[in-house]
């Protein structure tokens, strides 16, 4: 495809980057990315991917906008309280970039639908807020050969990493189960914002970093965050990285896996 005059103007600051250029922008326009969750992490991810010209963006979320979301979920407006998050997010994204395609999945991601939904996209963004969903995303992405850019939030901290296990030549790279083989025994569902709180702007920091990593993966730029966990501490204003390796005993991607399909073992 050739870029139109409007696209040349819209994406001009990408086009003058040698690492992106016309070819890279065309690749973005032909890319399909699914964002799981249109909340604190999904908000900045979705807006920056739309602005960057990712041609097809899928949003899956079964929640409605609540007034308590607005402190951090900047894709939604006060006037949208009570409406589905996916439709509220779509309206914002199309205001940012009306030339892209938005696919809405107003439903919960479940073992029964995850393979069908993932098969339609090139890359998955994990903006979920509970451990069962994160494990399901990891397992389904592995079996469907999809890269996952994952973010997590807690109070004044955020985390970011990428999982590329099972995707072609990256099958020796670690997955989520290599990093966290099981959820914390004291809270198997995860630490949700409504339970422990979150400084709203931290979601913006991590979500924007996720969007950056998505664009890097789509364009094959720089160093991947696969095998690296980035930890952000807002109170100390520090970033640090922890490296991790593929676990040869991993239930999913180890030498003798016990998980054989996308339903995984932790989906309660």
Cα–Cα distance, 140 to 134 (Å, whole number): 10
In angstroms, the CA 102 to CA 94 distance is 8
In this prediction, residue 216 carries a pLDDT of: 98
Domain ranges across the chain? 31-243
CA gap 148, 165 in Å, rounded: 9
* pLDDT on residue 268: 45
Residue 69 and residue 74: Cα distance in Å, rounded?
8
Q: Compute the distance between CA of residue 76 and CA of residue 79 in angstroms, rounded to an integer.
A: 8
pLDDT tens figures, 1-17: 789 999 999 999 999 99
H-assigned helices in 11-123: 12-15, 21-29, 42-52, 85-96, 114-118
Dump the DSSP string for 205-264. HHHHHHHHHHHHHHHT-S---BTEEEEEETTTTEEEEEE----TT-TTTSSS----STT-
Query: Distance (Å, rounded) from C-alpha 79 to C-alpha 21?
Result: 39
C-alpha to C-alpha distance for 243 and 225, rounded to whole angstroms: 9
pTM summary value: 0.93
The CATH-assigned architecture of domain 31-243 is: 3-Layer(aba) Sandwich (3.40)
pLDDT less than 50: residues of the chain: 188-189, 267-268
DSSP state of 188: T
d(CA 239, CA 6): 38
**How far apart are alpha carbons 231 and 249 in whole angstroms?**
25
Nearest to 36 by CA among 129, 145, 102: 129
pLDDT digits (tens, 9 = 90+) for 162-209: 999 775 555 689 999 999 988 876 554 455 556 678 999 999 999 999
- In three-state secondary structure terms, 124 is strand
Residues 6+ positions from 210 with CB-CB distance below 8 Å: 41, 44, 45, 125, 127, 149, 150, 151, 160
């Amino acid at each position: 495809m050739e870029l139109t005059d409007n696209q040349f103007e819209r994406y001009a600051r990408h086009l003058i980057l040698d690492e992106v250029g016309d070819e890279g922008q065309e690749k973005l326009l032909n890319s399909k990315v699914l964002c799981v969750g249109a909340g604190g992490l999904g908000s900045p991810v979705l807006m920056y991917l739309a602005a960057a010209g990712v041609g097809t963006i899928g949003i899956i979320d079964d929640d409605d906008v609540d007034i308590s979301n607005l402190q951090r979920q900047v894709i939604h407006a006060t006037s949208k309280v009570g409406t589905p998050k996916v439709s509220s997010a779509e309206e914002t994204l199309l205001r940012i970039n009306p030339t892209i395609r938005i696919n809405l999945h107003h439903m919960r991601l479940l073992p029964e639908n995850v393979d069908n939904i993932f098969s339609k996209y090139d890359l998955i963004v994990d903006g979920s807020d509970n451990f069962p969903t994160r494990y399901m995303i990891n397992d389904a992405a592995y079996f469907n050969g999809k890269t996952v850019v994952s973010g997590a939030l807690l109070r004044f901290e955020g985390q970011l990493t990428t999982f590329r296990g099972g995707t072609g030549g990256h099958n020796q790279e670690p997955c989520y189960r290599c990093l966290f083989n099981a959820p914390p025994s004291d809270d198997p569902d995860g630490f949700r914002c409504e339970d422990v709180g979150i400084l709203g702007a931290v979601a913006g920091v991590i979500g924007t970093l996720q969007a950056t990593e998505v664009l890097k993966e789509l364009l094959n730029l720089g160093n991947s965050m696969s095998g690296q966990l980035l930890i952000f501490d807002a109170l100390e204003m520090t970033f640090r990285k922890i490296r991790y390796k593929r676990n040869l005993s991993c239930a999913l991607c180890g030498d003798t896996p016990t998980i054989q399909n996308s339903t995984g073992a932790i989906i309660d």
